[in-house]
Amino acid sequence: MKKSILMAMAVAATLAATTLQGWSASLVARIDVSSQTMTVSKNGRVIHRWKVSTARPGYWTPRGTWSPKRLHRMWYSRKYDMSPMPYSVFYNGGYAIHGTNYVKSLGRPASHGCIRLQTGNAATFYSLVQQVGRSNTRITVVN
C-alpha cells in the first residue's frame, strides 16, 4: 500500500513539473497598468523596464496572459484612421504591443487599448520575440 502511494506521488510530481515547464516561457513581458510600465525578463532575469501607455479613460486594455499571435514590422490600424503601429506584437485580437510617436504620453494612459512603447523599445521587444519564438513568449497584463 505504501509503495503504491509513493509511486502515485512520484507520478503526480513528474506530471506537475512537466505541466509547469509547458507554461514557462523564456521571454516574459509583464505590463503593469497601475504603474504604466513594462518589464521584460529573459530566462528569469529582468533585461528591460520601459514606460508604456495603456488605455485612456473610455477604453480598456485587457488583463490576462497570452502568447503573441502575430507580428508585423509595420501595421496600420484600420479601426483608427490608419494610424501607424510599428513593431506590432499582437497578443489578443486587435490588441498589440507597438511603437508610438506620442512619446510625451508614455508613463500615463493614452491609448485606445493597445500597449504603446517608444518605437526603439518596441523594435527591441519585437526582435526578442522573433529570437525566442512566439510559443516561448508570454505577455501578462496586470492592474
Concerning whether 98 is annotated as a catalytic residue, the answer is yes
Buried b (16+ CB within 10 A) or exposed e, 93-119: eebbbbbbeeeebbeebbbbbbbbbbb
Q: Is the pLDDT of residue 9 over 90?
A: no
pLDDT digits (tens, 9 = 90+) for 34-46: 999 999 999 999 9
Which residues, including other chains, have CB under 8 Å from residue 57's CB and lie 6 or more apart?
109
Q: Is the pLDDT of residue 21 over 50?
A: no
Per-domain boundaries in the chain = 25-142
The pTM of the whole model exceeds 0.75? yes
Please identify which residue in the block is written with the cell numbers 503593469. 32
| 13/52: higher pLDDT | 52
Concerning whether 48 is annotated as a catalytic residue, the answer is no
Query: What does the mean pLDDT of the chain come to?
Result: 89
CATH fold of the domain at 25-142: L,D-transpeptidase catalytic domain-like (2.40.440)
> In 3D, which of 38, 36, 71, 28 has the Cα closest to residue 54?
36
